[in-house]
Homo-oligomer: A and B are copies of this chain.
Amino acid sequence: MTDDPPFNPALLPAGFVDRLPPEAEAEAAGVETLMRVFAAHGYERVTPPLLEFETTLLSGAGAAVAAQTFRLMDPDTRRMMALRPDMTPQIARIAATRLPDVPRPLRLSYAGPCILMASNRGEGDRQISQAGVELIGPDGPHADAEIVALAAECLATLQVRGVSFDLTMPALTTALLDAGGFESTVRGMLMRALDRKDAAAVARHGGALADVLIRLLHAAGPAQGALAELAAVELPPAVRVLSERLAATVAAIEARVPGIRLTVDPVEFRGWQYHTGVCVSVYAAGQREELGRGGRYLSNDDEPACGITLRPDIILRAAPPLPSRTRVFLPWGTPAEKAATLRAAGYATVSALGPDEDPLAQAALLACTLVVADGQLVPVDGA
C-alpha cells in the first residue's frame, strides 16, 4: 500500500471517465442505433453478466485477453471471478452452453461495458463500450460478408464518413512460414520483421520465401490490387487455399455492399489472437483508433463462428453530433395536457416547481429556448 494522496472526490482512476451531457446521451443513442440495425437483420440480443468465474471467462477464446483482466474473489465460494475485458468469448460460451439446440446459423447481438486492467500502452480507456454481432455455425465467405455488411450499414446509419474495412488473414502468414520450414529463431525474426513491415529484414531472413514475402508486404492496400498480387505470386497449396478464401470473401463483401472501401494486408497478423480466418479492422477518416474489429474464429466446441465488435464510444467521436431535443419551460400552472402534447411532439419539457418562479428567467437559466405562455410556444429571448 502506498500512502493515499489527499482525498479528492473528483478524482477517478486513470482510464475511467464520467460521461456528461450531451456525450452520454449520444453514446446511448449510438448503441441503440447499432442494436436496431442488428435486430433488423434477425440478430437476437443476449446479455451476459459483467463478471464470471475466471476459469469460464478466460478459457477458449477468452485466454487471449487473460493478461488484461481484473480478478476478484467470490466471498461465497472463494473462487476467483474476472471482470470481462471482451464480450465475444461470453457470446461463444452462451452459444455453446445455453443455446446448443437452437438451429444454426445462430445470429446473436450484444452491447455493454467491458473493463481492461490496463490499456495497450498504459494510457487510454480502461472502461470501454462494445456492441456487436456473432454469426455462429456457418463457415463461408457469405457469412464473413454478412458481418462486414452489418458493420457498414451501422456506420452509414450513424453517418460516419470515410469508413474503410481493412481485411487480413493471420493464418495465411502462419501457413506460409510453416511451409517455409524455418528454424524457430529465424521464424521469430521473420515474424518481427513482417510485423514491423521491415522489408530489409524480411529479405535477410526470408530465405527462399523472401521474394514472395516482400511482394506481399508491398501488396498491402486497396483490396483488388492486393488480391491480384496474391494471385500472381507462387504459393504452397495450403496457403493458396487461404488466399482463395480471402479473395472469395472480398468478392462476397463487394457484392453485398457495392462501393465499400476495402483494403487487404496479406501478411498482417498482429493483434489477432484467437482468430482462424478472415479478420477485419474498421477505421474512419481522421480517427486513429479502430471503430471496431472482428473476424472468424472457433467458438466453444470448435464450432465455426465469425463476428464483429464495434466500439460505440469511438464511433461517436467520428459521427456527427445528434440533434438534441428542444427544451420548453412550463410555467407553474401549465395544463398537464399541453405538456404531454409537447412531449409527444418531441420537445423536452422542464416544469416550474412552484408558483413563485419568473418563467422567462427560469427558462433562460435552464437552457430552454421556448416557454409556454397563454397556451402558445414563445421564444425565450436574451439569457
State the A residues within 8 Å of B (CB).
Answer: 1-2, 4, 7, 9-14, 16-22, 24-25, 27-28, 32, 35, 39-42, 44-53, 55-56, 59-60, 70-72, 74-79, 81, 83, 90, 93-94, 96-99, 103, 105, 107, 111-113, 115, 117-118, 122, 127, 138, 140, 142-143, 146, 256, 300, 325, 327, 336, 343, 347-351, 353-354, 365-366, 368
Contacts and interface: CB of A to CB of B under 8 A. Distances in A.
A42 B350 contact: yes
10 closest A-B pairs by CB: A10-B97, A42-B350, A21-B44, A16-B49, A19-B47, A24-B47, A40-B343, A24-B45, A142-B353, A25-B45
Contacts of A112: 113
Given A45-B24, A118-B75, A353-B146, A9 B50 contact: no
A337 to B, nearest CB: 12
Nearest to A8: B56
A72 B70 contact: yes
B349 A40 contact: yes
Contact of A2 (B11, B45, B79, B347): B79
Contacts of A347: 40
A354 B42 contact: no
Nearest to A301: B9
What is the copy number of this chain in the assembly? 2
A90 to B, nearest CB: 8
Nearest to A37: B343
Contact of A12 (B24, B53, B142): B53
A140 B138 CA distance: 61
A61 to B, nearest CB: 12
B348 A50 contact: no
B28 A327 contact: no
B351 A146 contact: yes
B348 A41 contact: yes
A27 B13 contact: no
A78 B2 contact: yes
B41 A349 contact: yes
A42 to B, nearest CB: 4
A24 B46 contact: yes
A250 B182 CA distance: 81
Given A103-B365, A348-B40, A365-B103, A46 B72 contact: no
A375 to B, nearest CB: 19
Contact of A13 (B7, B81, B115): B81
A93 to B, nearest CB: 6
A10 B3 CA distance: 42
Nearest to A90: B18
A366 B107 CA distance: 10
